[in-house]
C-alpha cells in the first residue's frame, strides 16, 4: 500500500481495523451497528480500547497523543509531519463509525514489552522489550522517580503513578549517530561503504 496523503494512509489503517473487528469481534461490531441504527445511547464502555503501535519517531506528549517528527523506512507523506498520529487515526475510525478509541500510542518495543507482560504475569516481571528488524530498539521498566524528563516537561498529559514505574523507550538505534562515543571499527566502515543506508 502506497499512500500519498495522511488521510489515505490512516483511512487504510482504519479499514484494516474494521476488517479485524468483523472477523474477530463480529458480535461486538454488529451490536454497535445495531445500537447506532436504533439510536441507542453509546457510552465509553461500548468502545474497544486500541493500543496503536506506530514505529516512527514521534514527540509523545500523553498516553494517546504524539506528533510525527519525521518518516523513516522509506515512508514520505509530507502532510503528516507535525500532526498527532492518534488523532489522524481516530478521525478515520470515527468516519467508519467503528466502536474503537485510540487509548494508547506505543512504540513497537513498548508493545513487545507489554505483550510479554500481559501473557506472562507473575512475580518475575518483564524487564525489556526489544526489536531487531529494519533497525533495533529497546524499552525497559524504570522507577518513576528516575524519569527526570517528566519534571522538565511543560506540556504533557497525565500518567499513572500508582505502580511507581514507567516504561522508557530508549530509541537506542539512534544512539551516537555522530560516532562521538562509540568507536567506529574497520568493519563498520566496510559495511557503511557497501550499504544502501550507511
Radius of gyration for the alpha carbons in the chain, expressed in angstroms and rounded? 20
Would the CA dihedral through 34, 30, 114, 73 be positive or negative?
negative
Taken as a whole, the chain contains a residue count of 198
- DSSP 8-state secondary structure symbol assigned to residue 79: G
Q: Verify whether residue 55 is a known catalytic residue.
A: yes
Torsion sign over Cα 136, 170, 110, 13:
negative
Q: Is 70 a catalytic residue?
A: yes
Which residue in 55, 62, 87, 91 is the catalytic one? 55
Is 62 considered catalytic here? no
Cell numbers given for 43 = 457510552
Considering 19, 26, 70, 79, which one is annotated as catalytic? Answer: 70
By annotation, the residues acting in catalysis are: 55, 70, 108
Amino acid at each position: 500500500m502506497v499512500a500519498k496523503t495522511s488521510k489515505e494512509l490512516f483511512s487504510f489503517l482504519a479499514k484494516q481495523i474494521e476488517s479485524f473487528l468483523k472477523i474477530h469481534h463480529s458480535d461486538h461490531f454488529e451490536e454497535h451497528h445495531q445500537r447506532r441504527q436504533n439510536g441507542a445511547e453509546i457510552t465509553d464502555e461500548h468502545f474497544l480500547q486500541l493500543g496503536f503501535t506506530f514505529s516512527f519517531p514521534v514527540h509523545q506528549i500523553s498516553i494517546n497523543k504524539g506528533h510525527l517528527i519525521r518518516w523513516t523506512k522509506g515512508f514520505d507523506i509530507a502532510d503528516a509531519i507535525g500532526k498527532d498520529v492518534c488523532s489522524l487515526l481516530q478521525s478515520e475510525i470515527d468516519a467508519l463509525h467503528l466502536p474503537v478509541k485510540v487509548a494508547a500510542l506505543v512504540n513497537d518495543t513498548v508493545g513487545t514489552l507489554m505483550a510479554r507482560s500481559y501473557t506472562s504475569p507473575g512475580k518475575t516481571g518483564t524487564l525489556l522489550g526489544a526489536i531487531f528488524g529494519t533497525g533495533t530498539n529497546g524499552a525497559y521498566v524504570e522507577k518513576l522517580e528516575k524519569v527526570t524528563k517528566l519534571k522538565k516537561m511543560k506540556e504533557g498529559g497525565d500518567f499513572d503513578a500508582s505502580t511507581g514505574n514507567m516504561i522508557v523507550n530508549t530509541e537506542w538505534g539512534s544512539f551516537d549517530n555522530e560516532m562521538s562515543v562509540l568507536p567506529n571499527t574497520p568493519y563498520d566502515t566496510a559495511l557503511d561503504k557497501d550499504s544502501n543506508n550507511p
